[in-house]
Structure 1
Amino acid sequence: MHRIATALLTLLLAGAAAGCGASSDTAADPKPSASATPSANPLVVFTKAVDDAHLESYATGIPAYQELRVFPPQWCKALGDGHSVEWMLGDGDLYPIGQDWGTRKEDAYHLVLMGVRAYCPKHEGAVKEELRESGAF
């Protein structure tokens, strides 16, 4: 499954480098923030971080990026609205889970941090602080 994720990542990077990737202003593919590398596609950054993290939850294979990619923009919106990571993964119903895959709680915290780092780095400090205070990190 890592080969599939790596191949997908390679295709995404090649498309971005060639300028042939379709641009989208949807919530699933927001533009990188001013503090992110201007040429870095947040989906590519996030997907690579997830692949490189080797999370125990995904030992048998990382969920398809189409399923995973919907979470970081939603987390960023929730953080922008003043919600906490605990709220997002609980009452906010933004826990990273799909029809055929799930995520252990400790891996979910890492996933949120990777998503925030890629999509809305302005919230990264607050997320790290909350996770440290809660004992998650």
Structure 2
Amino acid sequence: MLTYNDGCLGKCAYCGLSKSRYINGSWTEKSFIRVDWPIVLLEEVLRRTDGERCSHVERVCVSMVTHKRAREDTLTIVKALRKKIDAISGLITPTIVTKKWLYDLKEAGADKIGVAVDAATPELSIN
């Protein structure tokens, strides 16, 4: 997951990553994020994929957030990972991407994309 010092600019009420979200009570009670993901530099991820330690990795998912640098950074990360791993998915932020950018993502090496629907209602899911 892309991580920035100034956070995600999305204002999703359900998301623990939203900087605009006011939480009254325990963060773990209010957030859908249940895992405390460590922040790891791209260089460290690439270094770890060089050895036997990650020989079992079959697919990597690069997850975007809403941020002005997310499009460019996602392409850079996918290109770097593609040199070491064949199967790469992008969990994209549809509000900040364009059709051309999707082609750029494919060219960078992603073979699948996903769009999170964390806030979908049954009515939206059916339509």
Q: TM-score under structure 1 normalisation? A: 0.30
Comparing both chains, which one has the higher relative contact order based on Cα–Cα distances under 8 Å and sequence gaps of 6 or more? 1
| More strand, by proportion | 2
Structure number with bigger Rg: 2
Q: TM-score under structure 2 normalisation? A: 0.32
| More helix, by proportion | 1
